[in-house]
Amino acid sequence: MGRGSSGAKTGNSVTRLIGTDNKPIDLPAPLTYGNDDQQLTGSARSSVEEFEKKRASNKIEYMRFVDPNGRIIEEDKGSAHHVRGSVYAAKHSYAMTHNHPRTNGMLGGTFSQADINNFSNQPMIVNRAAAPEGTYSISKTQAFDGNGLKTYFQKARTSAWNNYEQEFKDATAKYTAVSEAYGRKEASYATLNKAYESMQTEKRQPLINF
């Protein structure tokens, strides 16, 4: 799984960038850009990239299915957090792409569990999610293991969520302690504000990860 660039060069690790909506994005962790998907070529790539350029900064989700020759099989319009395509399109497409809108000014983010499940269960070769920070892409090789991918992704998601909950709990406890110290005039306002910002950053993490 890789990311196509959005104002970043392949191989670069960045902590701040300008999104496709021309707004700055501050990243809580470095975002590393890899090579764009080598399985997507010719007219299929042109059709997919034309869609992504148009939709990456939209506030609601859209989806496009294309065949190996880049012909559009289906396009769908969804809501701010969801878009659904037909079974026919999923079964007859070579590549599917859709956009992930920003939420509360944060990243559009990578694939959801539903994205991974649909990709694993259907014969499509390429699945992409275009977001303001870049395009996430995943493709199948001859040794592709759909059940293995779904299991791995679910475990990774659960682990990330558990880590988030602990980090948010720790940040909240630290803010509470600093707030009490500030009330006793034992901590500065700058220290209090820093603890608050750390807590708020942790609170927003789920909007970034999944």
Nearest to 107 by CA among 12, 8, 35, 18: 18
Q: What is the pLDDT of residues 17-58, one digit of tens each?
A: 787 777 777 676 677 777 778 899 999 999 999 999 999 989
CA–chain centroid gap for 58, Å, is 14
With beta carbons less than 8 A apart as the criterion, state whether 44 and 95 touch.
Answer: yes
Q: What is the pLDDT of residues 78-131, one digit of tens each?
A: 998 899 999 999 999 999 999 999 876 678 888 988 999 999 999 999 999 999
User: Rounded CA gap, 189 and 207, in Å?
Assistant: 28
With beta carbons less than 8 A apart as the criterion, state whether 171 and 198 touch.
Answer: yes
**Domain assignments of the chain as residue spans, ordered by start:** 2-143, 150-209
User: Rounded CA gap, 3 and 27, in Å?
Assistant: 15
Q: pTM (2 decimals)?
A: 0.76
pLDDT at 209 over 50: no
10: tokens are 């392949």
Looking up tokens 């099989």, which residue turns up?
Answer: 73
Count of residues in the chain: 210
pLDDT at 3 over 50: no
Q: What is the pLDDT of residues 142-185, one digit of tens each?
A: 899 999 999 999 998 888 888 889 999 999 999 999 999 999 99
Query: What pLDDT shows up at residue 1?
Result: 42
User: Rounded CA gap, 32 and 12, in Å?
Assistant: 6
Q: Which CATH class is domain 2-143?
A: alpha beta
With beta carbons less than 8 A apart as the criterion, state whether 73 and 89 touch.
Answer: yes
With beta carbons less than 8 A apart as the criterion, state whether 114 and 102 touch.
Answer: no
Query: What pLDDT shows up at residue 166?
Result: 93
Looking up tokens 């962790």, which residue turns up?
Answer: 29
With beta carbons less than 8 A apart as the criterion, state whether 87 and 65 touch.
Answer: no
